[in-house]
Amino acid sequence: MLRVGINPYGVSYTVLGWPGGGTPRANPDPWGLSRYLDLAAELGARVVEIPMPLLEHLDDAGWNSLLERLAQMEAQPVASQTARLNDIQASLKLAARLGARILRVSATSVLAGGRAFHKPPWREVFEGVVLALAGSAPRAADAGIALAIENHQDFTSVELLGLCAPYGPHVGICLDTGNALAVGEDPVAFVRAVAPRVRHVHLKDYKVQWTAEGYRLLRCATGHGAIPFEALFKELKVHHAELPAALEPGALEARHVRVLNPSWWSGYSPRPAEALAAGLAAARKGLLAEHEEWRTPWELGAGPADLVAFELEQLRASAEWARSRGWMAPKGSSAP
């Protein structure tokens, strides 16, 4: 049921030059768009998610080359917005030129569900998203493009559905399969709730290591961690014959979800005990022992060559997992 490809966020250091977190340790030689497409072809990607900054400075020749390569790969393009929802018009124009029918959006900068530790306050952030969406949704509908709001370690399933409810089919959800754990929800229950509104999927997995305050989410190859993918796909199949999806190993920085710290819950609505228990039980799978090393090569201070090798190794292992299920084309004949 999935048409699977890649996005650059699981290999962000390699392709885009940065790992996130506002760090100055940038890759001195990021691959950029052309080598990213080489990687997509090598892996047999049937979907290629492209962030808008890689398109902003293309000339006509660059656009022609990009569209020709996507056609040769028979790959579905998905556009990805890196700015916020109140600055979407330029991205809609680029998405339309790309031929994308979906624009994935990340609506906040909250990570690891840490609303209490975020400035400005969560209520102000959420109200800003509601206001921005009210202005952006009609523009997306006019362009014939569906906005797919990602559960980017910020929104619960109930909140995502509430954001989508006032709008028609042009506002939906980009489901990140790993990120339900970041807001203390059971991934299967999360998907069961949001499945009718899902427009795009990020296939992310995590190893989990418990701490005194909660648990860390540690990146790993997709299919090799805690996420029960078969159960998730069963829920999605109820509503979708096919969905575009992109493999996305997690960030180079572990996410510490502090669910055992009472302060962490500030900004969340009350949750039934049964739902909380299911969320905590889901985080008891794919466990890494407390004494085991949790830091990535990035967090251990590795250099550019080792970081690139680490990201690519996990993405290629993820692609082998997806290919074994028939979701990706045979591997290309040349590697980048």
Interval 181-208: pLDDT, tens:
999 999 999 999 999 999 999 999 999 9
Of all residues in the chain, the percent with pLDDT exceeding 70 is 97
- Give the integer Cα–Cα distance in Å for 308 and 35: 13
Across the chain, mean pLDDT equals: 94
Confidence band (pLDDT; 50, 70, 90) for 38? Answer: very high
Residue pointed to by tokens 């985080």: 283
Task: Write the CATH number for 182.
Answer: 3.20.20.150
pTM reported for the whole predicted model: 0.96
* 329 occurs within a structural domain: no
Domain count, the chain: 1
**Which residues make beta-bridge pairs with 246?**
5, 202
pLDDT score of 84: 76
What's the domain range around 172? 2-323
Confidence band (pLDDT; 50, 70, 90) for 23? Answer: low
- Give the integer Cα–Cα distance in Å for 275 and 267: 17
* 96 occurs within a structural domain: yes
Confidence band (pLDDT; 50, 70, 90) for 334? Answer: very low
Using one digit for the tens of pLDDT, what is the confidence trace for 140-168? 999 999 999 999 999 999 999 999 999 99
Residue 120, preceding peptide bond in cis (omega within 30° of 0)? yes
* 311 occurs within a structural domain: yes
* 168 occurs within a structural domain: yes
- Give the integer Cα–Cα distance in Å for 105 and 174: 8
* 333 occurs within a structural domain: no
The H or E element spanning position 208 is: strand 206-210
Whether 333 has a pLDDT exceeding 90, the answer reads no
pLDDT score of 331: 81
**Encoding tokens for residue 178?**
């790993």
* 335 occurs within a structural domain: no
